[in-house]
Chains A and B, each alone.
Chain A
Amino acid sequence: MQNAILEQLPTLHIALDRPIEGRSEQLYRVDDPSCLELKLAADARLKLLVVRSQAATSRVQIELGERAELVLAELFVADAETTVEVQQGAESRLQLTSLQLGGGVGRYVVNLMGAYAESRVNGLFALGGAERSSLTIRTNHQVADCRSYSEVRGLAGGEAVGRFDGMVYVAPDAQRTDAFQQNRNMLLSEKARIDTKPQLEIYADDVKCSHGATVGQMDQEAIYYLRQRGLDEQQARRLQLTGFADDLVMRCGCEEMCAALLEALNAKLNRI
């Protein structure tokens, strides 16, 4: 994979025996870690891009101390399998983007363990050929006053199969939870398939939770409209795909990270 922005990013070296301290604006990258443990001390801040270019299995464990902030993206360019577990302390913030461009399995489990913690976990898969992707996002609201937002979008062409499993769990004591989960999908061919299963499991009574899922096709009216303005059919289709996918990636929380992810996404969209 050629990606000018990615290639310039410094690799993150982590000392296993102590947590990451301090606030850093530097974006780091890590390539194909089979096992990764990240601990952010209270008030620490880190921006990290994990690249999955090997079809391997891996496990990531993350702990965010109080008020810690993590901006994390996982970029799948190979059919990798990862499980990411996050424990969030009070007032910590997580912004996680999972971008699957070559199939893969991504499981994300976020435990909101301290009050006023906030998690934003977004995912996108763009698949062609016979690729398969599965994205699972489970958010556990264990305590009161936390917020979680999760948006997943799926694009599948060829004979690709995509799958989304979403679960927002709200424990009995997790009052005043604010949770939102949305999944939108677009099928680009007759043979492509996307299964979606968004779920809520709520045991507290004072909560604000919503979820939804849609599976649709490309809008033929929009293609006609764009062609009437002089774009050819391929440009019209491409523009619609870009419109569907880009803004989710643009919200990854770090400009440089967004640029790297968008470059990878664009290259993939050209091939679907």
Chain B
Amino acid sequence: MLKVTNLHATVDGKEILRGINLEVKSGEVHAIMGPNGSGKSTLASVLAGNEKFEVTEGSVEFEGEDLLDLSIEDRARKGLFLGFQYPVEIPGVTMANFMKLAVNEQRKFRGEEPLTAAEYLKMMREKAKIVELDTKMTSRAVNEGFSGGEKKKNEIFQMAMLDPKLAILDETDSGLDIDALRIVATGVTKLHTEQNATVVITHYQRLLDYIVPDYVHVLYKGRIIHTGDKSLALKLEKEGYDWLINEQQ
């Protein structure tokens, strides 16, 4: 589904990603961990097409196509979803209106008819249940005045609405209390199928109690320096990153 080869990227001339290699197949869950500043969020942003970053080397294939050639919106319409670490507030625009536009844009891209108002409402109610989101929230402005937990639930609600092939969740667990973490993580698990894939970027092992990864990668100074199975996350939680970093030097 996703094949990242020797990916290098810079921001303001500073190299953040220094040769990432990563392959994600349908049905898989990957976790990306690593110390602060190792390039985890940059990787997510570059894959989503954030124009702040410049790709200087390497390639990314998504569903057999050159991902780096596509605009931000075309990547999204083809099924790449980024769960934002800091979801953006959009005053005056209701969630319901925003999602209706987004869902119908995606349908148009696939050559499907737009949803009727009734179909859309039904879909919204069903998907809101996945993250125990009060449907009243959908008549509020996007993320405006939402608590930390509501913002993250809202990201997963959007993921449920858009049903992506590949979801990249950038520190979806940050700023969540234990209940919100359970709801958000359980929501992600419910959305996982053999046809899609999830990449979770996280600092903490506790998220991976719910979202069990097939692979755990450690990112350090813009490279994946180690890959293991779910037991690696537990080891990192106990022992930190030093043992891996020392191995590098």
Contacts and interface: CB of A to CB of B under 8 A. Distances in A.
Interface of A: 219, 221-222, 224-233, 235, 239-240, 242-247
Interface residues of B, number: 31
A79 to B, nearest CB: 27
A121 to B, nearest CB: 20
Nearest to A238: B101
B61 to A, nearest CB: 20
Given A224-B50, A225-B84, A239-B98, A230 B90 contact: no
Nearest to A239: B93
29 contacts: A219-B90, A224-B50, A224-B51, A225-B84, A225-B88, A226-B98, A227-B73, A229-B76, A229-B98, A229-B102, A229-B158, A230-B77, A230-B106, A230-B109, A231-B102, A231-B105, A232-B71, A232-B105, A239-B90, A239-B101, A240-B93, A242-B92, A243-B90, A243-B91, A243-B92, A243-B141, A244-B91, A244-B92, A245-B92
A230 B102 contact: yes
Given A219-B88, A221-B88, A243-B93, A228 B101 contact: no
Nearest to B80: A228
Given A228-B84, A231-B105, 11 more contacts: A219-B88, A222-B90, A225-B84, A226-B90, A227-B73, A227-B76, A230-B73, A230-B105, A230-B162, A240-B93, A243-B141
A231 B90 contact: no
B216 interface: no
Interface in B126-143: 141
The 6 A-B residue pairs whose C-beta atoms are closest, nearest first, are: A243-B92, A243-B93, A225-B88, A227-B72, A229-B102, A230-B76
Interface-centre pick from B75, B87, B93, B97 (highest chain A CB count, 10 A): B93
B170 to A, nearest CB: 11
Contacts of B50: 224
Contacts of A230: 73, 76-77, 102, 105-106, 109, 162
B89 to A, nearest CB: 8
Contacts of A225: 84, 87-88, 90
A219 B93 CA distance: 13
B103 to A, nearest CB: 8
B2 to A, nearest CB: 16
B127 to A, nearest CB: 14
A235 B108 CA distance: 14
Contacts of A247: 92
Contacts of A226: 90, 98, 102
Contacts of B98: 226, 229, 239
